[in-house]
A and B are shown apart, each in its own frame.
Chain A
Amino acid sequence: MIFMVELKFNKGAIIHDAGSTKNYKTGDWRTFKPSIDKSKCIKCGKCWMNCPDGAIRKTKDGFFEINYDYCKGCLICEKMCPVKAISHEVEEK
């Protein structure tokens, strides 16, 4: 498991660098990896609206993409997609 870029055991668990949370990539908690099939996507945005982790972004062309650094694989997007454009695979680790 790699939660921190570099482990530092500072006394009192005090983190000396501000904004260190951005170094935490929580995507490796994921077991199921969803992916969007652009050929089926109707750009409705339901996956984007329902992602509980804000891990889906709208791109310039109106489609949506998943940020795998933070997607935890809950598959709510897959469940919400009205045209079944989202499917998943089990991620090997």
Chain B
Amino acid sequence: MVKNVVISGSDAIAEAVKLCKPKVCPMYPITPSTLVPEKISEFINDGVLEAEMINVESEHSAASALFGAYAIGVRAFTASASNGIALMHEILPIISASRFPAVMSVANRTISGPINIWNDHSDAMSERDQGWIQMYCESSQEAFDTIIMAYKIAEKENVSLPIMVCIDGFSLSHVYEPVQIEDQKKVDAFLPKYNPKNILDIKNPKTFGPIAFPNSFFEFHEQEQLAMKEALKEIPLAHTEFASMFGRKYGNGLIELIEMKDAEYALIANGTSVGTTRVVVEELRKEGKKVGLIKLKTFRPFPKEEIINSCKNLKAVGIIDRHVSLGSEGAITLDVKAALKDEKVRVEGFISGLGGRDIDKTRIKKAFEILEKGGKGIWLK
């Protein structure tokens, strides 16, 4: 039965996970991700989700147990944030190299120090090279929908890569919004049973996670890169299927274009800052300014072609990065610059919202103003 409720982004994720029916949930609480394991443990306790909740002693163990669950061939889920993701760092590339289609929710929080519990994207961005697909969400409904899509995409035979579903800590994880919770039968029809070919089985023994010498490691990494390319095709396909079944869509699943048809200046944003930028674009349009917005829903694999096609005719494009690669630039800025290297469009990076600093309309307007005046990207403090 379809239910319309007002719940937090975290609860929306938990509700979606329940519908995807994972068998194992190894989780360790950390602010602001804690609401997710809390809600899921409630579901398990109440008997509405038949899964094993493992109260692990750390995020390193949570990721390791996630690996173990996939090795025995069941769907699994974990959630974390910030330093929890950092503690998982060692295991994340092992899960992706084993091509396990795990799904993890990330309530984006900065990585300390100084100690800070608030939102920016430095936790997920620091893991961008570990073979995990990364999808960012703007609303609780999108978080709900993205979890269901994530299992579908990850489990595609030609993808077989794990996915992080990222929601902004507090500004989405703790914000209550109306969410439509879908019917179990409909979700089952969209997401078939997980039925992996290779599992740990004493009757048919196989080796998982073996050593790869210099004569083979390279090839395994190349396979992961090719799978990322496949994901660029499979994400829009899964997204279209989702849209036709559930009636909601987010661009093409990779990016969404807002007022981009005749735009001269545009901003690229991800996560909740997209919502604020939507409002600013609407306001500036009323003033007659030709501005637009590109929502970067999927950051890994990076939708290079989509970025080129949507930016090549602009005068300038700016990026709202909620993370900085210290000593260089924002992670998204670097990728956009690389994608647009043969185009005439000017690219400016704006570092914003670090450690939970608000990205408000004034700051977004400032970025548009700088773009129009031909200025350089700044730190939007």
Contact = CB atoms under 8 A, between A and B. Distances in A.
Contact of B223 (A3, A4, A9): A9
Contact of A12 (B99, B205, B215, B216): B99
B209 A13 contact: yes
Interface stretch (A15-23, A36-44, A69-77, A78-86): A15-23
B212 to A, nearest CB: 6
Contact of B216 (A9, A14, A18, A20): A9
Give the most central of A1, A3, A12: most B CB within 10 Å. Answer: A12
Interface residues of B, number: 20
Contacts, number: 45
Contacts of B210: 13, 15
Contact of B97 (A12, A15, A20): A12
Given A1-B214, A7-B215, A18-B206, A13 B97 contact: yes
B212 A12 contact: no
Nearest to A11: B99
Main secondary structure of the interface of A (DSSP, over half): loop
A14 B98 contact: yes
Nearest to B202: A18
B206 A14 contact: yes
B212 A13 contact: yes
A12 B207 contact: no
B207 A20 contact: yes
Interface string A23-43: 000000000000000000000
Interface residues of A, number: 13
A16 B215 contact: no
B160 interface: yes
A1 B215 contact: yes
B157 to A, nearest CB: 9
B379 interface: no
Interface of B: 97-100, 160, 198, 205-210, 212-216, 219-220, 223
Interface of A: 1, 3-4, 7, 9, 11-16, 18, 20
20 contacts: A1-B213, A1-B215, A3-B213, A4-B213, A4-B215, A7-B216, A9-B223, A11-B99, A12-B100, A12-B198, A13-B97, A13-B210, A13-B212, A13-B216, A13-B220, A14-B98, A14-B206, A14-B208, A15-B210, A18-B205
